[in-house]
Amino acid sequence: MIRVAIAGATGRTGSRVLELAHQAPDFEVVGALVARDDSRLGQPAFADDTGLTLEAGTNTAFDVLIDFSLPDGTVQWCQRAYESGAAFVSGTTGLSDEQRFLLHLAAERTPVVWAANFSIGINLLLRMVGPVARELGEDFDIEVVETHHNQKIDAPSGTALSLGQAMADATGRDFDSDVVYGRSGTPGPRPRRQIGIHAIRLADEVGRHEVHFAGSGETLVLQHAARSRDAFARGALTAARWAVRQKPGLYSMQDVITAR
């Protein structure tokens, strides 16, 4: 059995990780972690009332901590995993450079898996877009469009940024100078090497990413749509199973699916 603690346990994705881990035969949920100001603090973690409650911290030993909280929470939970020597798996986006640096520090002592998106499908898309962009060349314009629910805090999504980075790396573009976020005013003709990234926020949309390649007379669109958050939750559990067997280091979901 893998002893798992889950941070952000009442969030949109964290709550699904909590429930699916509870149902999985190879996981024992030993911690359901929330922020101190969470309205459900102290309540039962599960409907069948196993005795586990939603808490702001835990002293119970665990093998892996899965984090779907907010950036400040991620720093806290990463520190907790670092201190215990347990693996750390996080899908929190919107991290600052300093917060990302802390993940690197923790990875010197324990396995850390960070991914903007844990779905298997989106990670296969991340593998595809670089070679496609390179093959099509600069005669094809590239635009990334991401759609999420209207309560998402950061924009564009971490996944959209990862898609842009993958294509920039594959084609020798400079991410900082060649990527633009939306357009307004009179930006003028579109530069050949530009990658556009656009964020749409609609109701309860789970997550949709489209990469458009447009050349003279033709358009190629690669798209991934998550129909439920279970796609992210199951991927995070897959990453957790993998992480507990690894040496210290900073890993991505690409490392996880390569080893499947």
User: What is the per-residue pLDDT across 33-44, written as a single tens digit (0 to 9) for each?
Assistant: 999 999 999 999
With a CB cutoff of 8 Å and minimum separation 6, the contacts of 90 are 66, 67, 68, 74, 77, 78, 103, 112, 113, 114, 115
Average pLDDT, the chain: 96
Asked if 12 contacts 18 with a C-beta cutoff of 8 angstroms, the reply is no
Catalytic positions: 148, 152
Q: What is the average per-residue pLDDT within 217-227?
A: 98
Considering the chain, what percentage of its residues have pLDDT values greater than 90? 97
Would the pTM of this model clear 0.75, i.e. be above it?
yes
Asked if 83 contacts 57 with a C-beta cutoff of 8 angstroms, the reply is no
Give yes or no for residue 147 having a pLDDT over 80. yes
pLDDT band with cut points at 50, 70 and 90 for residue 260: confident
- Complete domains list, the chain, with CATH: 2-114+229-258 (3.40.50.720), 120-226 (3.30.360.10)
Give the pLDDT confidence score for residue 259 in this predicted structure: 83
Give the pLDDT confidence score for residue 21 in this predicted structure: 98
pLDDT digits (tens, 9 = 90+) for 1-19: 999 999 999 999 999 999 9
pLDDT digits (tens, 9 = 90+) for 171-206: 999 999 999 999 999 999 999 999 999 999 999 999
- The strand pairing partners of 224, in sequence order, are 209
Cis peptide before 156 (omega within 30 of 0): yes
Could you give the CA distance from residue 151 to residue 204 in angstroms, rounded to a whole number? Answer: 8
Q: What is the average per-residue pLDDT within 218-241?
A: 98
Q: What is the average per-residue pLDDT within 62-80?
A: 96
Asked if 110 contacts 86 with a C-beta cutoff of 8 angstroms, the reply is yes
pLDDT band with cut points at 50, 70 and 90 for residue 49: confident
Q: What is the average per-residue pLDDT within 114-121?
A: 95
Q: How distant, in Å, are the alpha carbons of 70, 112, 190, 233, 239 from that of 107? A: 19, 5, 41, 22, 15
